Amino acid sequence: MTNKIQTIRVDLAEKLAPCISTRVAIQVLRNELVASSAKNIVLDFQHVESVSRSAAHELILTLFDLTNLFHKKVAIENPNDGVQAVLSAVTDRSIKSKPEERYVSQKTIDFEELCQLA
Over residues 65-81, the pLDDT tens digits come to 899 889 999 999 999 99
Average pLDDT score, the chain: 84
Quickly state the pLDDT bin for 97 (edges 50, 70, 90): low
Q: pTM for the complete prediction?
A: 0.78
pLDDT > 60? residue 106: no
**Residue 64's pLDDT is what?**
87
Q: Residues 52-57: what's their mean pLDDT?
A: 94
Q: How far is CA 57 from CA 5, 31, 49, 54, 118, in A?
A: 28, 16, 17, 5, 17
Q: Which domains, from first to last, does the chain contain? A: 7-117 (3.30.750)
The pLDDT > 90 percentage for the chain reads 64
pLDDT > 70? residue 114: no
Query: What one-character DSSP code corresponds to residue 102?
Result: G
In terms of C-beta density within 10 A (0-12 exposed, 13-18 middle, 19 or more buried), how is residue 27 classed?
Answer: middle
